[in-house]
Amino acid sequence: RFAERKRCADLECSMLMCRGKAMRDFKGPDCRFVNFKKGEAVYVYYKLIGKSTELWAGSVGSDFGYFPKDLLEINHNYSNEELELPTDETDFVCF
């Protein structure tokens, strides 16, 4: 597990929190991460908090995974409400 808790826009963490633009290319170390190229749109579904605050979870196209939040320039917020929830073991497996 990267973290014990996360922030989401809803109880299921299925609503978009924000959208941003990738500021540079990113290739994750394993299948839990989402890869993207500079300029691509990245959609954020939840933000890890606690011991690993630098990772957010989101999608690029049909791919979903974690990425460093510092690589994203946010250009649209979908929700100002953030719920703090416990992470689940399934948050950290590859599909």
- Residue 10 one-letter amino acid: D
Start-to-end CA span in the chain (Å): 16
Burial class from Cβ neighbours inside 10 Å (0-12, 13-18, 19+) for residue 70 reads: exposed
In a domain, 91, yes or no: no
User: Is 95 within a domain?
Assistant: no
In a domain, 45, yes or no: yes
Domain encompassing residue 35: 5-86
> Is 51 within a domain?
yes
Count of domains in the chain? 1
Tell me the mean pLDDT in the region 65-81. Answer: 95
Rounded CA separation 45/11 (Å): 11
How high is the mean pLDDT of the chain?
A: 94
pLDDT tens-digit map of 42-64:
999 999 998 777 999 999 999 99
The CA distance from 42 to 36, in Å, is 8
Residue 91 clears pLDDT 70, i.e. is over it: yes
Q: Report yes or no on 61 lying in a domain.
A: yes
- For residue 31, what is the domain's CATH number? 2.30.30.40
